[in-house]
Chains A and B, each alone.
Chain A
Amino acid sequence: MEPLKTQTVPFGDSHEFHNIFASLYPRLVSYARRYGATYPEDIAQEAFVILMQRDSPVDHPTAYLYGTVRTLSLTERRPLKNQSISLEAVVEPGKGPDADEDLLSQEVRERMKSLSPTFRETLWLFVVEDLSIRQISEILDIPEATVKTRIHRAKAHLRNQLNSGGLHVLA
């Protein structure tokens, strides 16, 4: 296989692209897995190809990649609706099978699971994926104010949970 020439590279410097790819690819695979994708690696790779295939550049490539992975994962799950499978086999968004096993501790996983899927998804992108509120609003296709509201509600829920847990310990 012949090496790529610099002038044909759509993403500037090869070295920079390799570093970014190495950083983002595992995160995107994990994100696709959280949505219950059967082939999360394929989805992450497809998202990169779609981004590089574009004629016009995007403002926030990271948010674009996350949004594409989310859309592809949900699209992959869509045909399941027409199949006669048990409800337990369908994974709800943000609750992929053992998606967080190797990333988060048992305690953190339990706290995340106590949140509703909507809040959990937003919180995951904000805290674990380290994305900005604007990026999250682009990924989820919702206003920034909604993202902030979800994050603050998730925070209130976690705080209440910690307080009630503390009371149990004292009792």
Chain B
Amino acid sequence: MSWHDPARSEEPAEDTALREELRGLLGLPARGTNYFETEPTPELVRLADDLRREALRRNRTARKQHSWLLAAAALPVTLALGGLGTLALVEKHKADELAATVAHEAEEIHRLAAAVQQAQPGPGPAAQPGPGHVPAAARTRPPQVLLMGKASPKVKPKELVIPVERPAEPNPNDTQRVKAH
């Protein structure tokens, strides 16, 4: 660090003139007389060296304390980050294993399905369904009308009703007479 102060040496002329004017107003002597002009006495030189030594000592001590404090403060954070990182690695390993197992099982299922499909006899080209083709299942199924008649309790099936006249005396032969037209 340099003791050369550009702020003082590069002072504008108007500031210098203003200072001189103020000196005159205050009744101070002209510029050039420094109230604090002091020769470096042995006491001052010794004091300056002591202060510089003290600054060096503090600088070294402060830096050491600073680094130790930083290390102490960073330790818990480092441990926490390390633990989190390890946990994340373990979880990632588990997830990778699960994904590999699932992929393997899916592949096995596909393989089995392909094998079953190959084992079944496939239909020939002549058996291809035509435009008027009715499936076998539809052929065996009963007509929808009959099913509807049976299924619904309100719709009674059509039947021939013949009125029967009961004889006064019981028919010994248990027969029934029908008039012939």
Using CB atoms and an 8 Å cutoff, list the residues of chain A in contact with chain B.
3-4, 8-12, 14, 16-23, 25-27, 30, 45, 48-55, 57-63, 103-105, 107-108, 111-112, 123, 126-128, 130-135, 138, 151, 154-155, 158-159, 162
Whether a CB of chain A sits under 8 angstroms from the CB of B59 is: yes
Q: In the complex, which residue of chain B has the Cβ closest to the Cβ of A49?
A: B55
Dominant SS among interface residues on chain B: helix
Q: Is the CB of B52 within 8 A of A108?
A: no
Q: Is the CB of A10 within 8 A of B56?
A: yes
B180 to chain A, nearest CB (A): 138
Q: Could you tell me how many residues of chain B have their Cβ less than 8 Å away from some Cβ of chain A? A: 40
Using CB atoms and an 8 Å cutoff, list the residues of chain B in contact with chain A.
1-3, 5-8, 11, 15, 18-19, 21-23, 25-28, 34-41, 44-45, 47-49, 51-56, 58-59, 62
Q: Is the CB of A18 within 8 A of B27?
A: no
Q: Is the CB of B36 within 8 A of A23?
A: yes
30 inter-chain pairs at a CB distance below 8 angstroms, sorted by A residue, are A4-B53, A8-B56, A10-B52, A11-B1, A11-B3, A18-B40, A21-B40, A22-B40, A22-B48, A25-B44, A25-B47, A26-B38, A50-B55, A51-B55, A52-B52, A53-B55, A54-B1, A55-B59, A63-B5, A104-B28, A105-B27, A123-B22, A127-B23, A130-B19, A132-B7, A132-B8, A133-B15, A138-B7, A155-B18, A159-B25
B69 to chain A, nearest CB (A): 16
B48 to chain A, nearest CB (A): 4
- The contact of A134 among B7, B41, B44, B56, by CB within 8 Å, is B7
Please indicate the chain A residues that have their CB under 8 angstroms from the CB of B23 in the complex.
127
Q: Is the CB of B22 within 8 A of A158?
A: yes
List 5 additional contacts besides A4-B49, A158-B25; criterion CB under 8 Å.
A21-B44, A22-B38, A23-B36, A108-B26, A133-B15
Give the docked Cα–Cα distance between A127 and B53 (Å).
Answer: 33
Q: In the complex, which residue of chain A has the Cβ closest to the Cβ of B23?
A: A127
A160 to chain B, nearest CB (A): 11
Please indicate the chain A residues that have their CB under 8 angstroms from the CB of B56 in the complex.
8, 10, 52
Q: In the complex, which residue of chain B has the Cβ closest to the Cβ of A20?
A: B3
Q: Is the CB of A58 within 8 A of B1?
A: yes
- The contact of B3 among A9, A61, A105, A111, by CB within 8 Å, is A61
Q: In the complex, which residue of chain A has the Cβ closest to the Cβ of B15?
A: A133
Q: In the complex, which residue of chain B has the Cβ closest to the Cβ of A11?
A: B1
Please indicate the chain A residues that have their CB under 8 angstroms from the CB of B19 in the complex.
126-127, 130
